[in-house]
Structure 1
Amino acid sequence: MELPKDRLKQVRAAAGYESPTDAANAFPRDINKNTLISHENGNRPISRKAAEKYGELFGAKAGWILFGDGPGEDTGAALSDVTLSRVGMTVGRVAGIVEAGAFREVDEFDQSEPIEIMLPRDEKFPNARQLVFDCAGDSMNDLRPRPIFPGDRLVCLAYEDIGHIELRSGMVVIVQRSRDGGHFREWSVKQIEVFPDRAEFHPRSTNPKHKPIIVERDDEADEGVTVEVIALVRRVMNDLPGF
């Protein structure tokens, strides 16, 4: 079965560049050699934006690189939302790492390019943004019926896009805790339990160090820490090594 990495190699070679190094030397401002090598090896997924850039430089359609959609050689036209919808796919943004107890500084001036990957469109919420989080730590390794392990990738829906959905006990969510005026934040995955006067966000872990986050109806935790649900977990992915 031909994969996006294989089609990328084909269009690069068809454009006259024998190796990723040759292509990177020809377009030093547009191509990072190591990134191109990772894309061609399949070690890094080819995002929509990357496919469009390669298509523009190598004279191919982004849709063909990603899906084999249409002829390989063309004007480098961008992959359209119509094409994505027709094949039942959408773009998901890799938001970052979820890890209980790890507050990370928020860099408001971070200009790094977000990573985008292709995902199946959510049938129940087709217009909601899909966010992807990489799981670290053991705070959900005892979740039932399916544990969440370090290295798992969580496919989620942005909660502000489905805010009309009431949070219910048993849902698995991404919780954001922020402190110091929002300069530090923690993203963690928890299972929610809803009570009339409070919401409890529980780790499901064999490790006793992980404790639940309890939020009274004023939505403010102690010591100036703000807690909010930012995403609803819909799927768990974990690619097997060696492929």
Structure 2
Amino acid sequence: MTEPKTRLKEARAAAGFASPTDAANAFPRDINKNTLISHENGNRPISRKAAEKYGELFGKKAGWILFGENGADDGSTPARPPPELTLLRTGLVAGRLAGTVEAGTFREVDEFDQSEAVEILLPRDEKFPNARQLVFDVGGDSLNELRPRPILSGDRLVCLAYEDVAHEVELRDGMVVVVQRTRDSGHFREWSVKQIELYNDRAEFHPRSSNPKHKPIVVHHDSEADDGVSVEIIALVRRVMNEMPGF
């Protein structure tokens, strides 16, 4: 009898993806490449929630992935096509609430926990109409002294997915970005919001904070930090929203 890791590989291959990287590139909102590799290698157990998500994406039943129920093809459903941005007639688009940005807090990556993966309606970005809009809730005080407008705990950031606009937007000093740091082969990540300072040999991502515990992230031309922590920009901040108290 095959193991869950083997059936997962078979499901991914049957859906037309030659490698975990291909699957992760097709479903960037749903699959973390390192997690899929760990599941396929057997280094990380496949939870029921993970099996349900893989089953939805690869067109197989979760029970078959976990237990081999009903055979490879019985009860299969068509694999879900790669997601696309949905434009609405009202001029609004569906933006994804990605999670919380909070400096200094590494959280275990579980892309199958959909508690925060909800869509909200946002005004269409006329300058970048085809870029995905990501929304982050702010925790902590890492930009509470940003000028001209501080970013405070409880604010909501409306951002552009950086990979969607990297070919047309040049990074400049003073831009505010969401930075992702990952460690332990991508199993833990920190999302934080920082302001860019660019130099010839490095980029610096600065907190603008009254709290001295927050330190800049310095990335030299080699993008991999010496301590094994990977750093990348995942979003450009376009707008800051907040609601008045009392409602």
TM-score, length basis structure 2:
0.63
- 4+ runs of 1 displaced by more than 4 Å? none
What is the deviation of 1:166?
A: 1.7
Q: Which residue of 2 aligns with 1:90?
A: 93
**Residue 182 (str. 1) matches residue 175 (str. 2):** no
Q: How does 1:35-50 map to 2 (within 5 A)?
A: none
Q: Which residue of 1 aligns with 2:227?
A: 223
Structure 1: distance between partners of 2:155 and 2:111: 27
Structure 2: distance between partners of 1:105 and 1:127: 30
Structure 2: distance between partners of 1:183 and 1:238: 31
What is the deviation of 1:133?
A: 0.2
**In the TM superposition, what whole-angstrom CA distance separates every residue of 1:158-188 from its partner, at most 9, and x where no partner exists?**
0000011121111000000000000000000
What is the deviation of 1:109?
A: 4.0
Identity of aligned residues (%): 76
Q: Which amino acid aligns with 1:187?
A: W
Q: Which residue of 1 aligns with 2:58?
A: none
Structure 1: 5+ residue stretches without partners: 1-79
Q: Which residue of 2 aligns with 1:173?
A: 177
What is the deviation of 1:108?
A: 4.5
Q: Which amino acid aligns with 1:202?
A: H
Q: Which amino acid aligns with 2:241?
A: M
- Which of 132, 137, 158 in structure 2 is aligned with 1:134? 137
**In the TM superposition, what whole-angstrom CA distance separates every residue of 1:122-145 from its partner, at most 9, and x where no partner exists?**
111011000000000000000000
Secondary structure of 1:222's counterpart equals coil
Q: How does 1:113-128 map to 2 (within 5 A)?
A: 114-128=117-131
Q: Which residue of 1 aligns with 2:113?
A: 110
Secondary structure of 1:224's counterpart equals coil
Contact 2:98 2:116 in 1 (8 A): no
Secondary structure of 1:223's counterpart equals coil
Q: Which residue of 1 aligns with 2:64?
A: none
- Residues 210 and 113 (structure 1), Cα distance of their counterparts in 2 relative to 1, 3 Å cut: closer
Structure 1: distance between partners of 2:126 and 2:108: 35
- Residues 233 and 105 (structure 1), Cα distance of their counterparts in 2 relative to 1, 3 Å cut: same
Deviates more, 1:106-115 or 1:210-219: 106-115
Structure 1: distance between partners of 2:115 and 2:164: 24
RMSD, matched Cα: 1.6
Q: Which amino acid aligns with 2:228?
A: G
Structure 2: 5+ residue stretches without partners: 1-84
Q: What is the aligned residue count? A: 162
- Residues 210 and 112 (structure 1), Cα distance of their counterparts in 2 relative to 1, 3 Å cut: closer
